[in-house]
Amino acid sequence: MAATLTCGRAANEASSYLYVYESSALQSLSRYFDVIRRCISKEPKLLLAVQTVTKEPCENICTVHSWLLILIMSVKMSALLCVFLLYWTLLSLQAEKHSLYYIYTALSKPVNLPGIYQFTAMGLLDDRQIDYYNSEQQKKIPTQKWMKEKMQEDYWEEGTQSRKIKEQWFNLNLKNLTKLMNGSESDLHVLQWRTGCEVEEERSEVKFSKGISEFSYDGEDFLSFDDKESQWVASVDAALPTKRKWDSDPNLNKNTKSYLEKKCVDWIDRFSGYTDEKLRNGSLPNVQVFAKRSIRDKTKLNLTCMATGFYPKDVMLIIRKNLISLPEDEVESTGIRPNHDETFQLRKSVEINEDEPAEYGCFVSHRTLETPDIIKWDGKYFGHSLTDTALIAALKVIGIVGGAMLIVVLVVLFLKKKKIIDLKVISSTRRYLYSQYLKCVLNVYELKHVRELHCTVLSTYYCDVKTVCTDSLFINVLHM
């Protein structure tokens, strides 16, 4: 490669990895090392720039990102800012990210629906549920095999008692909060608390990255803890009395900060050592690119890049035109969504002209990939025929809800004016799946677009709230 690549071509091709902050990007960039070094060595000004940027003698620099930085500075000045960001970001690419969050949800009264309890609590390690508690069973239980095997009985007993105490606290404070917010006691109200932390692990060393402790009322932000300033932040005026009360207790803020920055980190370190091999190794993304007639403009096509089945959920998916990344503001994204098997999926779409000669493709980078997965679009597209083999393949991923749709609509009608559909929780929890599915269906249903509702369930159309209705969501609802 070094013998055939020009300096300009090397810069253009290597710049494809500018926004891919993964270890796989480093491996891919290494292919350009020789030609980049050769190009720079011919330019004294670039050698001086290397010394200026890195504060090191040039002969001691042998990392790919240092050479790439200077090369692209010379031939792609428009990317200068991005390259500087890349330079510093690549220094910590090898770090793995982990998270541990606990979510508590209390309803002001029972709703008498399957899987919906007046109080629930769950723990999420790296977006996968590890334990669960509800007000009916009143027992903290493991939801991962390794949790059941590794954690002793006293851990579950202590956890059960802790959950019971929190259940009482939530029930009492939800009543007080409803009065404070001038809410009607006859209506359904929801109080939630999410607390936990995120860490980065590099060379077996776990470092604190971020801590979160936040409350929401009826789906709206209410109060959150500022870990850096060690104080509470009120999102609404009604939360100010609580903020002042809690800030006046130095022990409360000290303990909150200590939990987020130390105890939570210690639990992640401990749990990570117990997880099974599949969880540690992750799952490879399955990448597909396909197109169909646009529903908004019949003269255009809707090109979709989809990555599914990957874990952990951090992924980079880029739609490229003639090897150039399309700006994000020109692309529609579903956001990262959970699958029924605890993996994730992401889809991005763009409208293109049917007869456009440009070459389109998907660029996907993930921790489990040694090199990014690059899939070119074959130029074919399909219409609305469900017999098309490509569509059938896509539907295997997105799923078909079918007759279960009627059940969902009935539930939506029952909850139409309730706040359950506004619950704000982590994406991999079942309550999130339930609320997102209802929200998606409800938004379409209220618009009375019956045809769009049918298409939303059976195909890849988006709801107005940019939530994708799939049977993988509904499967989780049925198993709550």
Q: Which of 361, 392, 423 is the last residue of a domain?
A: 392
pLDDT at 188 over 70: yes
Is the same domain home to 149 and 261? yes
Is the same domain home to 286 and 248? no
pLDDT at 12 over 50: yes
Specify the higher pLDDT residue, 147 or 413: 147
Q: Which of 132-136, 319-323, 425-429 has the lowest mean pLDDT?
A: 425-429
Six-digit token string for 343? 């993996």
* Domain encompassing residue 102: 96-279
pLDDT for the residue 355: 83
Is the same domain home to 199 and 254? yes
Is the same domain home to 275 and 286? no
Q: How confident is the model at residue 137 (pLDDT cuts 50, 70, 90)?
A: very high
Q: Which of 270-284, 309-323, 429-443 has the lowest mean pLDDT?
A: 429-443
Q: Which of 162-166, 395-399, 422-426 has the lowest mean pLDDT?
A: 422-426
Question: Has residue 243 been placed in a domain?
Answer: yes
Specify the higher pLDDT residue, 93 or 185: 185
Is the same domain home to 118 and 233? yes
Total structural domains within the chain: 4
Q: How confident is the model at residue 397 (pLDDT cuts 50, 70, 90)?
A: very low
pLDDT for the residue 275: 83
Question: Has residue 248 been placed in a domain?
Answer: yes
pLDDT for the residue 253: 96
Question: Has residue 2 been placed in a domain?
Answer: no
Is the same domain home to 181 and 229? yes
> pLDDT tens for residues 211-261?
999 999 999 999 999 999 999 999 999 999 999 999 999 899 999 999 999
Question: Has residue 398 been placed in a domain?
Answer: no
Q: How confident is the model at residue 159 (pLDDT cuts 50, 70, 90)?
A: very high
Specify the higher pLDDT residue, 145 or 39: 145
Q: Which of 392, 426, 459 is the last residue of a domain?
A: 392
Is the same domain home to 88 and 115? no
User: Model's pTM, two decimal places?
Assistant: 0.60
> Is the Cβ–Cβ distance between 326 and 319 less than 8 Å?
yes
pLDDT for the residue 383: 61
User: Looking at residue 295, which CATH number applies to its domain?
Assistant: 2.60.40.10
Average pLDDT, the chain: 72
Q: How confident is the model at residue 439 (pLDDT cuts 50, 70, 90)?
A: very low
pLDDT at 79 over 80: no
pLDDT for the residue 214: 97
Q: Which of 158-172, 242-256, 446-460 has the lowest mean pLDDT?
A: 446-460
Is the same domain home to 322 and 384? yes
pLDDT at 449 over 70: no
Q: Which of 63-77, 151-165, 217-231 has the lowest mean pLDDT?
A: 63-77
Is the same domain home to 381 and 426? no
Q: Which of 92, 119, 141 is the last residue of a domain?
A: 92
Is the same domain home to 107 and 251? yes
Question: Has residue 196 been placed in a domain?
Answer: yes
Question: Has residue 149 been placed in a domain?
Answer: yes
Is the same domain home to 137 and 155? yes
Is the same domain home to 138 and 264? yes
Six-digit token string for 440? 């998606």
Specify the higher pLDDT residue, 409 or 308: 308
Question: Has residue 397 been placed in a domain?
Answer: no
Q: How confident is the model at residue 42 (pLDDT cuts 50, 70, 90)?
A: low
Specify the higher pLDDT residue, 18 or 158: 158
Question: Has residue 111 been placed in a domain?
Answer: yes
pLDDT for the residue 13: 58
